[in-house]
Structure formats: C-alpha cells, structure tokens
Amino acid sequence: MNTQDVEWIISPGQVGYEEALAFMEARVAAIAAGEAPEAIWLLEHPPLYTAGTSAKIEDLKDPERFPVFEARRGGQYTYHGPGQRVIYVMLDLNKRGRDIRAFVEQLETWVIRTLNGFGISGQIREGRVGVWVPRPEKERLPDGQTREDKIAAIGIRLRKWVSFHGISINVEPELEHFSGIVPCGITGHGVTSLVDLGLPVTMTDLDVALQQTFEEVFSSTAATA
C-alpha cells in the first residue's frame, strides 16, 4: 500500500449531509473488509450545522437558522456551507499505525503545509482544536492576547481503525453563518477564510495543493500491506 492507492473523489455542486454520511458509512465498512481502497472525498455542503459528541446545546445560538445534524464525530458544533472545502478522510489505520494522536497530528500537518503554500502560517493551539491564524491587526482580547481566527476544523471518528469525517477548510464561505453557533465551543477568537485573508484562492487551487501535500505528509506511514 502507498499513497497512490488512495482514491480521490471530487464532487461538483453541493452534497447533502445525510447522503455524505451514508456514503462514508458504506465506504468505511468496505475498506475495513478489504473490499475498497482508502479514499479522500472533497466536497461542499449546503448551509448546515453539525454537532459532535462533545457539543453543548447552549453553543447552538440559532437552532432554527440551518438544519442541525448529529455528526457522531469528535468535537463540538461546526458550520458547513458553500465556499468551504470539506475533506472526508477514509484511511485505514490498521495499515498506517494504530496511533490516533499521531494521525490527528498528521491531519494538522497536512492542513498547515497546504496553507503554507499560499503564504499562510497556520498554527495549532493547546486546548483549541483546528488550525488558527494570528490576527495582530485586530483589537486584542480583554486579557491582552492577540486575536486568532480559525481557518480549518478537524473532527474524526474511527470504526475498526478506519477513519471517517475529517477536515474543513474555509476558502470563501459566508463567515456570518458561523454566528449561529459557538464554533467548537470557543469564544473570543473568530473565524476566517483564504479569501478573507486577501488570497483569491479557488477550490481547484486548494484541491491541487491538498493532493500534493498529502503525498508529503502521509507517504511515510503507508506501510506495505
């Protein structure tokens, strides 16, 4: 097995959340049974909120705004919608080392290296899931900290050591849509996107970069089957 064995699926238009969940459930079962290759699925969703296993109901500030789905992944509330690249990661950790922490670190590294290619210094923060961008030009927080905006969210689930759910990266979503939730339960800091940061990046640009950096990050853990 190597990274070239991973199937890349790119869906045009918007994919409904329940449809995506059904596809992932079936594909993960097939991967675990040795009946299908690993897959990375790139798509966009219509506007919706998802609740992870740690979601707190008080963090859903506007429950009537968009459909809300129980995601059954790690994490809290997230927003998905047009202009956001969702990356569903269906990889077999039986073949890549059964180390959840290392796998999440790989996902973080994958996002950070991809953003670096566009001149963005994405960063990880202890106690704050996802990838963050410092915004020193914004007013500081009351405690004097520099404000930071989230550009990517990460939340996964494993079944028989095969991963599903994954990553979302904000390319050009409607950032105001995030106001209906407390994203990932974190207050004080905000949300940003590639376009919000002044970068006219397209979905295609991002997809190409994701495929290139995936090879760099994950090839070292692709053991021979």
Domain ranges of the chain: 7-220
Is 1 a residue whose pLDDT tops 60? no
Task: Assign 35 a pLDDT band (cuts: 50, 70, 90).
Answer: very high
* Pairwise CA distance, residues 136 & 94, whole Å: 42
Q: What is the pLDDT of residue 183?
A: 66
* Pairwise CA distance, residues 190 & 147, whole Å: 8
Q: CATH fold of 7-220, please?
A: BirA Bifunctional Protein; domain 2 (3.30.930)
* pLDDT single digits (tens) 94-109: 999 999 999 999 999 9
Which residue ranges are tagged as binding site? 73-80, 153-155, 166-168
Which whole number is the average pLDDT over 146-164? 93
Task: Assign 188 a pLDDT band (cuts: 50, 70, 90).
Answer: low
Give catalytic residues, as residue numbers: 184
Task: Assign 55 a pLDDT band (cuts: 50, 70, 90).
Answer: confident
Residue 215 CB: number of other CB atoms within 10 A? 13
* Pairwise CA distance, residues 70 & 105, whole Å: 25
Check: CB of residue 132 under 8 Å from CB of residue 189: yes
Q: What is the pLDDT of residue 75?
A: 76
Instruction: Please give the helix or strand (H or E) that residue 210 lies within, else none.
Output: helix 203-218
Is 184 a residue whose pLDDT tops 60? no
Q: What is the pLDDT of residue 225?
A: 35
Which whole number is the average pLDDT over 10-22? 96
Check: CB of residue 37 under 8 Å from CB of residue 5: yes
* Pairwise CA distance, residues 22 & 57, whole Å: 25
* 3-state class (DSSP) for residue 19: helix
Check: CB of residue 113 under 8 Å from CB of residue 131: no
% residues pLDDT > 70 (the chain): 92
pTM reported for the whole predicted model: 0.90
Q: What is the pLDDT of residue 135?
A: 86
Tokens 């129980």 label which residue? 70
Which residue ranges are tagged as binding site for substrate? 73-80, 153-155, 166-168
